[in-house]
């Protein structure tokens, strides 16, 4: 034992790329969650909660083998029996799995879900990029119309304005469908074959296997190389072109400003037709605050019926950085501080604090033998607007002092029904 005592304990720090969200920050996070949930529910969305781990195969099959996420960002490991499992890098695949597994389409294929929670990607940590980060997701199943695409983008942009986010821009594009995408793919392949030397090693490999991915590469030389790449919009089949036109007209009718961005392909393979990203000028390099799109083939690919779907994911961490709201706007302060002097008063303070707390009044007390002065200091520090002062003398006389910290006025309050008196005394 002695040896052990002599070894100084080493402080254990959190894992690189992970972070704590502390009191002082959580108030803002919770406010955003509430605003999002309430807005989404007004649009008919229901909350779904899915596990943070899934079989690796689910992500490999849905997100796609040649994507950054599956190639190099997933936390994948064998469990004790050797089955490969992965900490979810995104939520859509799990929601689709759940929709299929529980046959949620059986009674009504049209379902709208939202979920909020942590995602895990082993990326290089930097500002706005973490290894555990949070997303707010919304997904709609069973509607193939471009009108719902417009409604979803409308809802997303309105969430941003409710959260006082300015400086955002909706970028939209279409990725076509299995009918027209092969033509685009061929055009991109041909274009890329003249650019091989300018591409990074990943993109050189991708340009034959999955050439669209090259458009999404973040390496500056690759971005440069694809500036004049052919546009998918020139290769859309009539149905996909009409879908995209309806989306644009609907967004205009809904007064949602947008830009068409032919380079937007996004980092997941399952997208078809509409894709979109919300970009902001306020985040530096990590400028995407939300992304989404239509994934009409995914339910079928994962073993379900042929049901279209569309969804988006908001980067919650990045959202907290660009909202005009501050955590301090939501900080909770005590309504009253009970300064108790002496054993008997402290015991009474416990009773009153509990009774007040139970009635929704935030009462704090010190539970200690400190002087009145230091208790008043603490009340000040906590920014309590009222202090209830109680000592043996007050207990004997059956009345305590209630001090208004702003006006410095003190009134004597009878001990009977102190809770009611406090409640009536403009506390709540
Ligand atoms: P990026 O282009 O920034 O890598 P992405 O295309 O990989 O983003 P999506 O998979 O579309 O991101 O996820 C949706 C949103 O989640 C992004 O727009 C972003 O705001 C946020 N996000 C993605 N990865 C991270 C991360 N590692 N840390 C914090 N937020 C992230
Ligand atoms: Mg990424």
Q: In this predicted model, what pLDDT tens digit does every residue of 389-410 receive, in sequence order? A: 999 898 898 899 999 999 999 9
Residues of 382-409 as b/e, b for ≥16 C-beta within 10 angstroms? eebbbbbbbbeebbeeebbebbebeeee
Of 303, 322, 302, 236, nearest to 275 by C-alpha is 236
Provide the 8-state DSSP code for 304: S
Structural domains of the chain sorted by starting position, each given as residue range(s) with its CATH number in brackets:
25-180+236-325 (3.30.930.10), 333-424 (3.40.50.800)
| Residue 112 reports pLDDT greater than 90 | yes
CA–chain centroid gap for 316, Å, is 3
In this prediction, residue 267 carries a pLDDT of 67
Neighbours of 24 (CB within 10 A): 11
Distance, CA of 245 to CA of 277 (rounded, Å): 18
Split at pLDDT 50, 70, 90, the class of 328 is confident
Q: In this predicted model, what pLDDT tens digit does every residue of 138-153 receive, in sequence order? A: 999 999 999 999 999 9
Q: Which residues contact 218 (CB under 8 A, 6 or more apart)?
A: none
Split at pLDDT 50, 70, 90, the class of 206 is confident
Atom of ligand 1 nearest to the CA of 123: 27
Atom of ligand 1 nearest to the CA of 266: 6
| Residue 426 reports pLDDT greater than 70 | no
Atom of ligand 1 nearest to the CA of 121: 27
Residue with tokens 């569309």: 310
In this prediction, residue 3 carries a pLDDT of 57
Whether 31 and 330 have beta carbons less than 8 Å apart is answered as yes
Whether 328 and 364 have beta carbons less than 8 Å apart is answered as no
Atom of ligand 1 nearest to the CA of 287: 3
Closest residue (by CA) to atom 18 of ligand 1? 290
- Residue 325 alpha carbon to ligand 2 centre in Å: 26
121 lines ligand 1 (CB under 6 A): yes
- Residue 259 alpha carbon to ligand 1 centre in Å: 20
| Residue 262 reports pLDDT greater than 90 | no
313 lines ligand 1 (CB under 6 A): yes
- Residue 306 alpha carbon to ligand 2 centre in Å: 28
| Residue 2 reports pLDDT greater than 80 | no
Atom of ligand 1 nearest to the CA of 290: 18
In this prediction, residue 4 carries a pLDDT of 60
Higher pLDDT, 286 or 398: 398
Q: What is the reported pTM? A: 0.91
Output the six-digit token pair for 24: 């002082």
Q: In this predicted model, what pLDDT tens digit does every residue of 292-325 receive, in sequence order? A: 999 999 999 999 999 999 999 999 999 999 998 9
| Residue 428 reports pLDDT greater than 80 | no
Output the six-digit token pair for 130: 């973490």
| Residue 414 reports pLDDT greater than 70 | yes
Q: What is the mean pLDDT of the chain?
A: 92
Q: In this predicted model, what pLDDT tens digit does every residue of 359-389 receive, in sequence order? A: 889 999 988 889 999 999 999 999 999 999 9
| % pLDDT > 90, the chain | 70
- Residue 313 alpha carbon to ligand 1 centre in Å: 8
Q: In this predicted model, what pLDDT tens digit does every residue of 172-195 receive, in sequence order? A: 999 999 999 889 989 999 999 988
- Compute the Cα dihedral for 201, 205, 207, 210 and give only its sign: negative
120 lines ligand 1 (CB under 6 A): no
- Which segments of 70-123 are extended strands (E)? 75-78, 84-87, 111-120
Strands 309-315 and 132-141: antiparallel
In this prediction, residue 103 carries a pLDDT of 98
Question: For 184-209, what is the mean pLDDT?
Answer: 88
Q: Which residues contact 394 (CB under 8 A, 6 or more apart)?
A: 345, 400, 401
SS3 65: coil
Q: How many helices (H) and strands (E) does the chain have?
A: 16, 16
Least distant ligand from the CA of 133:
1
Closest residue (by CA) to atom 8 of ligand 1? 288
- Residue 228 alpha carbon to ligand 1 centre in Å: 25
Mutate to test the pocket of ligand 1, among 67, 129, 139, 288 (most ligand atoms within 8 A of CB): 288
Whether 358 and 200 have beta carbons less than 8 Å apart is answered as no
Q: In this predicted model, what pLDDT tens digit does every residue of 64-95 receive, in sequence order? A: 887 888 889 999 999 999 999 999 999 999 99
Least distant ligand from the CA of 119:
1
Closest residue (by CA) to atom 19 of ligand 1? 315
Q: In this predicted model, what pLDDT tens digit does every residue of 157-167 receive, in sequence order? A: 999 999 999 88
Q: In this predicted model, what pLDDT tens digit does every residue of 232-254 receive, in sequence order? A: 999 999 999 999 999 999 999 99
33 lines ligand 1 (CB under 6 A): no
211 lines ligand 1 (CB under 6 A): no
Closest residue (by CA) to atom 22 of ligand 1? 315
In this prediction, residue 116 carries a pLDDT of 98
- The crossing angle, in degrees rounded to 10, of helices 92-101 and 56-63 is 110
Least distant ligand from the CA of 19:
1
């Amino acid at each position: 034992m002695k040896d052990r005592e002599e070894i100084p304990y080493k402080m254990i720090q959190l894992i690189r790329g992970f972070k704590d969200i502390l009191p002082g920050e959580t108030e803002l996070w919770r406010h955003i969650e509430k605003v999002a949930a309430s807005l989404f529910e007004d649009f008919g969305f229901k909350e779904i909660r899915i596990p943070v781990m899934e079989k690796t195969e689910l992500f490999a099959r849905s997100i796609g083998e040649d994507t950054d996420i599956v190639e190099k960002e997933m936390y994948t490991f064998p469990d004790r029996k050797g089955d490969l499992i992965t900490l979810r890098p995104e939520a859509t695949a799990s929601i689709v799995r759940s929709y299929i597994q529980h046959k949620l389409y059986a009674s009504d294929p049209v379902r709208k879900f939202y979920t909020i929670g942590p995602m895990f990607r082993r990326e290089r940590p930097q500002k706005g990029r973490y290894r555990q980060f949070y997303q707010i997701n919304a997904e709609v199943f069973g509607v193939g119309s471009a009108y719902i695409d417009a409604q979803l983008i409308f809802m997303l942009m309105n969430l941003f304005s409710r959260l006082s986010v300015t400086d955002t821009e909706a970028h939209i594009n279409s990725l076509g469908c299995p009918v027209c995408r092969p033509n685009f793919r061929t055009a991109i392949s041909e274009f890329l074959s003249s650019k091989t030397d300018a591409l990074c090693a990943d993109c050189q490999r991708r340009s034959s296997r999955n050439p669209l991915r090259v458009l999404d590469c973040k390496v500056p030389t690759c971005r440069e190389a694809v500036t004049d790449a052919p546009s998918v919009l020139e290769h859309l089949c009539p149905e996909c072109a009409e879908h995209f036109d309806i989306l644009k007209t609907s967004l205009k009718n809904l007064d949602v400003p947008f830009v068409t961005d032919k380079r937007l392909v996004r980092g997941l393979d399952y997208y078809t037709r509409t894709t979109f990203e919300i970009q902001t000028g306020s985040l530096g390099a990590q400028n995407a605050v939300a992304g989404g799109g239509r994934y009409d083939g995914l339910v079928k690919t994962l073993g379900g019926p042929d049901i279209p779907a569309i969804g988006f994911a908001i980067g919650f961490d990045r959202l907290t950085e660009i909202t005009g709201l501050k955590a301090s706007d939501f900080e909770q302060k005590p309504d009253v501080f009970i300064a108790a002097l002496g054993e008997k008063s402290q015991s009474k303070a416990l009773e009153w604090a509990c009774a007040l707390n139970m009635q929704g009044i935030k009462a704090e007390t010190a539970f200690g033998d400190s002087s009145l002065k230091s208790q008043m200091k603490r009340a000040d520090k906590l920014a309590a607007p009222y202090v209830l002062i109680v000592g043996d003398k007050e207990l004997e006389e059956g009345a305590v002092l209630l001090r208004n910290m702003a006006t410095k006025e003190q009134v004597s309050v009878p001990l009977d029904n102190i809770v009611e008196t406090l409640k009536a005394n403009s506390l709540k």
